[in-house]
Amino acid sequence: MEKQESDINENLYGERVIANAELVCFPNPSPKRTYEISIELPEFTCKCPFSGYPDFANLKLTYQPAQKVVELKSLKLYINSFRDIKVSHEAVVNEILDKLIISCSPIWMHLEADFNPRGNVHTIINVNHGIKAKTF
């Protein structure tokens, strides 16, 4: 089956949704209680800025919300928007944390990016924001 030129140049619906991704937050349903939210995103991808090869990572986000909580679908789409971006491990992890801080202003936030080994090198990047409050 031959693809028509209009099919080749047209982005698929998922690509369009990812391209327009923005982080969305909603009001914390229990702002008077200190609690933690843990989210795992095991299929993160971006590209190496030097080789163009894909880099894969498991992202683990843990945070204590203040007034806002991150909506999960918007987080997924935002994370997927990096798949074709050429960026270093260090830069992308800090960029993601910075965007999350701006979007939801957490009490405390930790992001771990465990990148798959490539060329016998395994990288884990940990970034933090704020001071973790005691929860129990």
Catalytic residues: 48, 55
Q: What is the rounded CA–CA span in Å between residue 95 and residue 98?
A: 5
Residue 128, token pair as written in the block = 């933090």
Say if CB 100 and CB 93 are below 8 A apart: no
Distances (CA, A) of 85 to 34, 60, 92: 35, 20, 9
CA gap 68, 41 in Å, rounded: 20
Question: How many CA within 13 A on the CB side of residue 129?
Answer: 23
**Contacting residues for 104 by C-beta, under 8 A, at least 6 apart:** 23, 25, 63, 65, 66, 68, 69, 70
